[in-house]
Amino acid sequence: MHLPRLPDWLVYLAIVTALVVASMGRRERADAPPPPPPVAGEGTLPLGSSSPFDPAVVVEVPGPQKPGTGTAFSVADTGVWITARHVVDGCTRIALVVAEGRGVSARATIAASGEAAVLTTDGGAPALPLAPVGPGLKPGVLGFHPGFPQGQPGEAVSRLLGRENLVVRGRGARTEPVLAWAEIGRTDGLRGTLAGLSGAPVLDSAGRVIGVTVAEAPRRGRIYTTAPETVLKALAGSRRRPSGYAMGEPINVENYGRVADGLRRDLRVAQVVCLATT
């Protein structure tokens, strides 16, 4: 069977149309910029600035309860300490535990906003160095949290996920940017909540303070800390200065328990107790 023969003019029209389409396609591709080269280390780019569009986590903060305990850490050897705001907010008598059954009186300065509070004592302990505030912090880095979970010496290790917004309801209601961490390890034998770790520093692998541990989400395995700039804002509000930004003792997943024990022994990380409330 013979197929019907197309008219010559229809064949020519099809050829011209194909050439025009091909020409337009080449012209579009020629004008388009080349695809960007792959970025080295893509997926571990530094964190951007905090944003109101960051994911939010909501925490309920009840009124102060007596007694309450948390963690504080030294930022100046003249007797300047940092803890989480909710550990001492509303407290009329605050003490830092310096030995078994013995404490020293502390005074708190709490800013109008922010989840960090400054404590001052007569005399102090060697300061923990602060990490410089800048764009270098990347998701995936490790953080180490030495303190007093459940009122006992203990620590946790986590991996940075990114930025979130902490929405505080109840006493001191506010919203502030925080860093979200995934817990990947803790003290052997420590089960359940990390309550009491509030106010502990989160240290980078160089032993420098990145922020203050302020909340946890046990079911999700999350730990939340203040953003790096919060500590400096709290110190500025209290007119206190940190001791400096030197490197601390290197920390890793193999030695973080030993390093944490040393920090507590030297009282660079101490237990804080709220003895009386308003």
Per-residue pLDDT in tens (0 to 9) along the chain, 278 residues: 444 554 554 444 444 444 433 443 333 333 333 444 444 444 455 666 555 545 555 555 555 555 689 999 999 999 999 999 989 988 999 999 998 888 999 999 987 777 899 999 998 899 999 988 766 788 999 999 999 999 999 999 999 998 888 776 666 566 788 899 999 999 988 999 999 999 999 999 999 999 999 988 888 889 999 988 888 888 887 777 776 666 778 999 999 999 999 999 999 999 999 988 87
Residue 216 β-bridge partners: 223
Secondary structure of the chain in HEC code, one letter for each residue: CCCCCCCHHHHHHHHHHHHHHHHHHHHHHHHCCCCCCCCCCCCCCCCCCCCCCCCEEEEEECCCCCCEEEEEEEEECCCEEEEEHHHHCCEEEEEEEEECCEEEEEEEEECCCCCEEEEECCCCCCCCCECCCCCCCCCCCEEEEEECHHHCCEEEEEEEEEEEEEEEEECCCEEEEEEEEEEEEECCCCCCCCCCCCCCEEECCCCCEEEEEEEEECCCCEEEEECHHHHHHHHHHHCCCCCCCCCCCCCCCCCHHHHHHHHHHCCCEEEEEEEEEC
> Does residue 79 sit within a domain?
yes
Residue 83 β-bridge partners: 72, 117
> Does residue 171 sit within a domain?
yes
> Does residue 149 sit within a domain?
yes
> Does residue 192 sit within a domain?
yes
pLDDT of residue 52: 54
pLDDT of residue 148: 96
C-alpha to C-alpha distance for 71 and 84, rounded to whole angstroms: 8
> Does residue 237 sit within a domain?
yes
**Domain range spanning residue 242?**
56-277
Pick left, alpha or beta for residue 151 (phi over 0 → left; psi -120 to 50 → alpha; otherwise beta): left
pLDDT of residue 236: 81
Q: What is the pTM of this model?
A: 0.77
C-alpha to C-alpha distance for 248 and 4, rounded to whole angstroms: 87
Backbone angles phi, psi at 218, to 5 degrees: -55, -40
> Does residue 22 sit within a domain?
no
C-alpha to C-alpha distance for 87 and 70, rounded to whole angstroms: 6
| CATH number of the structural domain spanning residue 135 | 2.40.10.120
pLDDT of residue 235: 82
Under 8 Å between Cβ of 195 and 217: no
Q: How many domains does the chain have?
A: 1
Q: What is the largest CA-CA distance in the chain?
A: 108
> Does residue 103 sit within a domain?
yes
> Does residue 99 sit within a domain?
yes
Q: What residues have CB less than 8 Å from 60, skipping those under 6 apart? A: 169, 170
